[in-house]
Every structure is written in structure tokens, then in C-alpha cells.
């Protein structure tokens, strides 16, 4: 088996540049092997917020997601703008989508969303000592805020009621700490 890495790139073609992500095709080659291509979705990354108004409660949001044509239950999250500080992005997203401001913040483990084809790194935070300030949604967003028991949120994962990967991961980190 031949393992390819970034040192094996012999060419790159950018095939799409968009508002949220870009797509490139890299050509990779090692000595004495045929060239191969890898499609890569480039993304600035995102933040995911595990907001907890109380110790065993969790803020989730219900919102429509166009690509899957469904309303999903998710943790508040959003993309990081180019050059934006991830922590400031997390603070912004929590307030935009839920109306809450967190006074106490803690880093949780970061995770790649889909490393087989995308470089998006999701940075997770826990926010506590929450204060209601009011939502500040983007013009194309509408969210319903749900405050649920952490055990209930985990049961929703097991029942398939929550199917968003970043939300499953965030709930698992909170519900099953080491």
C-alpha cells in the first residue's frame, strides 16, 4: 500500500471558489507509482457550542437545513470567518442562534468534520453561567431554542432524533466525560 501526503503534491487545480468553501483537486505522485488525484473541500473551520444554562441542561436548536431538506436538532454552531478568532466566533454564534451570552467558557476537544475529503476543523466549547440577551440571527436563519436535560439529549441521539454529527459528538463529550 502506498501512503500519499502533502509532500507528494505535483499539481493543484482549484475547481470551485464559493462563499462557504472552495474545492481543489490535487495530483499526487510518488516515485515508481502512477499519479492519483484527491478532491479537497477547503473550509475555514467552524465552532460548536455546548451551552449549559444549568449543570445537567443543554441548549439545542431546531433549524431547517436546505441540503438535507429537513429540520434538524443541533448544537449552536457556525463557520469561522477568514482571519476570525475561533473563541470570538463561538461567542458570536451562541448569541446569534440562541440569544444567550456565556460568562464562563471551557475548551472541549476539536474534531474534523469529514477528513476523507474536507479540511474543516470544528472547535468545540462549553459555555456556562449563561445570560439571556436576545437572538441576533443572520437574515437566512430561523432557530427554535430547546433546553433539554443532558440525558434526554443523549437518548435522542440513540433514538436517531439527533443525526447531526457535530451535535452527536458534542453531546457525547458532555454526557460521557472521562
Residues carrying an active site annotation: 139
Residue (of 166, 163, 149, 171) closest to 71 by Cα position: 163
> What would you report as the CA-atom Rg of the chain, rounded to the nearest whole angstrom?
19
| 120 contacts 113 by C-beta, under 8 angstroms | yes
Three cell numbers written together for 91? 461567542
- Count of C-beta atoms within a 10 Å radius of residue 157: 18
CA 28, CA 8: separation in Å to the nearest integer?
A: 5
- Do 46 and 78 meet the contact criterion of CB atoms below 8 Å apart? yes
Amino acid at each position: 500500500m502506498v501512503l500519499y501526503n502533502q509532500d507528494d503534491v505535483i499539481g493543484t487545480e482549484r475547481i470551485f471558489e464559493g462563499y462557504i468553501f472552495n474545492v481543489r483537486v490535487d495530483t499526487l505522485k510518488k516515485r515508481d507509482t502512477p499519479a492519483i488525484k484527491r478532491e479537497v473541500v477547503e473550509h475555514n473551520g467552524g465552532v460548536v457550542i455546548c451551552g449549559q444554562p444549568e449543570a445537567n441542561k443543554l441548549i439545542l436548536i431546531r433549524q431547517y437545513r436546505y441540503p438535507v431538506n429537513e429540520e434538524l436538532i443541533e448544537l449552536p454552531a457556525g463557520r469561522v470567518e477568514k482571519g476570525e478568532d475561533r473563541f470570538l466566533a463561538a461567542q458570536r454564534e451562541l448569541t446569534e442562534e440562541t440569544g444567550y451570552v456565556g460568562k464562563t467558557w471551557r475548551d472541549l476537544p476539536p474534531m474534523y468534520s469529514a477528513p476523507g475529503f474536507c479540511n474543516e476543523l470544528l472547535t468545540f466549547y462549553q459555555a456556562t453561567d449563561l445570560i439571556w440577551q436576545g437572538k441576533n440571527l443572520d437574515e437566512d436563519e430561523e432557530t427554535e431554542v430547546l433546553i433539554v436535560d443532558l440525558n434526554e439529549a443523549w437518548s435522542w441521539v440513540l433514538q436517531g432524533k439527533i443525526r447531526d454529527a457535530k451535535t452527536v459528538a458534542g453531546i457525547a463529550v458532555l454526557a460521557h466525560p472521562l
